[in-house]
């Protein structure tokens, strides 16, 4: 996998710790927007030091292809993070699979940026790491995410019961998969 990709409107970067201030701004500005869909965040999460630590760990994981996250920037504003796309639980053994996750700044939703980034990065994961299957777990009430996944060609597989802890409660998620053919 490369450290940088470009789409028509976006720069997709694997960021190092120098981007900690931009990442902190992204997370802080969207704290309330992301909260209904994510695990509880301790106050230390919202510090530059913590975000620098996250970026260091992510960069090392990228080098080993164990976890991959790209940060989305508009080409005309390359200093502001507007979203992320991540690939976790990467298995390069028999099942050649991973989980996909994403988030977008509330000011940039509904403009096709996530679709644009995911379309390119999914193909790169398939081409470079030979990923055959991707999975996404989505809360029933997260209709924008459901529409995105369906637009990308993911198939509904069923309900993953009590699969993710959100807001201190174990919640059911709808499980979707994408199979590369």
- How far apart, in whole angstroms, are the C-alpha atoms of residue 125 and residue 180? 10
Rounded to two decimals, what is the model's pTM?
0.95
pLDDT tens-digit series, residues 140-166: 999 999 999 999 999 999 999 999 999
67 in a structural domain: yes
Please state, as a whole number, how many other Cβ atoms lie within 10 Å of the Cβ of residue 16. 14
The pairing of strands 97-104 and 133-138 is parallel
141 is a domain residue: no
142: in domain: no
What CATH code is carried by the domain that includes residue 13?
3.40.630.30
Question: Is 55 a member of any domain?
Answer: yes
Q: What is the pLDDT of residues 20-47, one digit of tens each?
A: 999 999 999 999 999 999 999 999 999 9
Q: Which two tokens stand for residue 50?
A: 């913590």
Range of the domain at 93: 4-134
In this predicted structure, what is the pLDDT of residue 75?
98
Q: How many CB atoms lie within 10 A of CB 17?
A: 17
* 135/140 Cα distance (integer angstroms): 15
Q: What are phi and psi of 67, to 5 degrees?
A: -155, 135
- The better pLDDT of the pair 132, 93 is held by 132
The answer as to whether 42 is a domain residue is yes
Per-residue pLDDT of 99-136, as tens digits, reads 999 999 999 999 999 999 999 999 999 999 999 999 99
What is the C-alpha separation between 160 and 93, in angstroms, rounded?
23
Q: Residue 163: its pLDDT value, please?
A: 94
Domain assignment present for residue 17? The answer is yes
**Residue 51 placed within a domain:** yes
Dist. CA 79–CA 91, nearest whole Å = 32
**Domain tally for the chain?**
1
pLDDT at 167 over 90: no
Q: Is residue 176 part of a domain?
A: no
């Amino acid at each position: 996998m490369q450290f940088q990709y470009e789409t028509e409107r976006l720069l997709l970067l694997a960021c190092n710790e120098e981007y900690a201030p931009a990442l902190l701004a992204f997370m802080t500005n969207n704290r309330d927007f992301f909260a209904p869909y994510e695990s509880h965040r301790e106050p230390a999460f919202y510090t530059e030091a913590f975000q620098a630590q996250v970026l260091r760990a992510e960069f090392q994981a990228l080098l080993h292809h164990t976890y991959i996250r790209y940060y989305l920037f508009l080409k005309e504003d390359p200093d502001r993070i507007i979203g992320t796309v991540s690939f976790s639980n990467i298995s390069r053994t028999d099942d050649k699979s991973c989980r996909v996750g994403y988030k977008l700044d509330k000011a940039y939703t509904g403009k096709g940026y996530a679709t644009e980034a995911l379309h390119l990065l999914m193909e790169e994961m398939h081409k470079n790491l030979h990923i055959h299957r991707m999975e996404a777990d989505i809360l029933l009430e997260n209709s924008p995410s459901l529409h995105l996944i369906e637009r990308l060609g993911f198939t509904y597989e069923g309900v993953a019961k009590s699969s993710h802890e959100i807001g201190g409660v174990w919640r059911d998620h709808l499980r979707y998969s994408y199979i590369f053919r």
